Amino acid sequence: MKIIHLSDLHLATPGLALFGSQPDERLDALVDSILREHADADFCLLTGDLADTGSATAYARLAETLARLPMPSYLLPGNHDDRAALCQQFPAIGRDQAGFVQAAIETPLGRFLLLDTLKSGFPSGEYCATRRAWLVRQLAESGSRPIWLAMHHPPLAVGIPSMDQYALHDPAAFWAILEPHRERIRHLFIGHLHRPLGGSWHGIPFSCVRSPNHQVAFDMVTADEVPGNQEAPGYAVVLIEKDSVVVHQHEFLYRGERFWL
């Protein structure tokens, strides 16, 4: 199975720049890259901050652009998103009974659980008792099948203080739900960090991707403000087999020289 992981699009008013680049043009280029190189992917996974200010115009532009893809796209909100506006533009988006943007996606290699960590008006994440109850049910109903998790906010600190302060609130409560199922949780896909990084949390492998528009600088000292830059934009190409997961970080705008080694 091949999936495309992208995150933190920060779509704004079409044609206007944000931090020196135009998010809508970057998304167009990203989709061009997928069509050119990875049109055989099974689906695209978008882990939040789809719009910069949660505007209806941005979500309409997103819907128009994703319609170019031959595979389905599964969306999650981030702290920059507006849940109601997102759902209005994407009426078929997965939602739980309480209205949170959460869904279970069945695949030949297990169940993907898409988790809503948005706390409206706050940069940090929240996974409240109502959302945790949904997750408990999904894990119980999945039997012994492999589990894949996707969420916007990381449930751990990654050593970038400016972003660690805006991680998921109360990760211990979240972990308490996952712990009994640890052995069958294959991978955790996160956004929010605008960094190409990976590691493990309680033994669960995780990965994050660059933004298509702007990045968080690799600064392990600054804590009071979030430093950004214009490092190369990217997305991830994830190859999944029964016994392996490979995450390729793809800098899709690179047009430099190619040579034989």
Q: Give the count of beta carbons closer than 10 Å to the beta carbon of residue 88.
A: 13
CA distances from 234 to 34, 96, 212, 237 (A): 11, 30, 5, 10
CB-based contact 120:86 (threshold 8 Å): no
Q: Residue 134 is encoded by which pair of tokens?
A: 């949904």
Confidence at residue 102, expressed as pLDDT on a 0 to 100 scale: 98
Q: Residue 131 is encoded by which pair of tokens?
A: 């959302």
CB-based contact 4:41 (threshold 8 Å): yes
Residue with tokens 């203080």: 161
Q: Decide: pTM greater than 0.75.
A: yes
Q: Give exposure, 45-54, as e/b (b: 16+ Cβ within 10 Å).
A: bbbbbbbbeb
Tens of pLDDT, residue by residue, the chain (261 residues): 999 999 999 999 888 899 999 999 999 999 999 999 999 999 999 999 999 999 999 999 999 999 999 999 999 999 999 999 999 999 999 999 999 999 999 999 999 999 999 999 999 999 999 999 999 999 999 999 999 999 999 999 999 999 999 999 999 999 999 999 999 999 999 999 999 999 999 999 999 999 999 999 999 999 999 999 999 999 999 999 999 999 999 999 998 999 999
Give the angle subtended at the CA of 203 by the CAs of 202 and 205, to the nearest 5°.
115
The residue type at 87: C
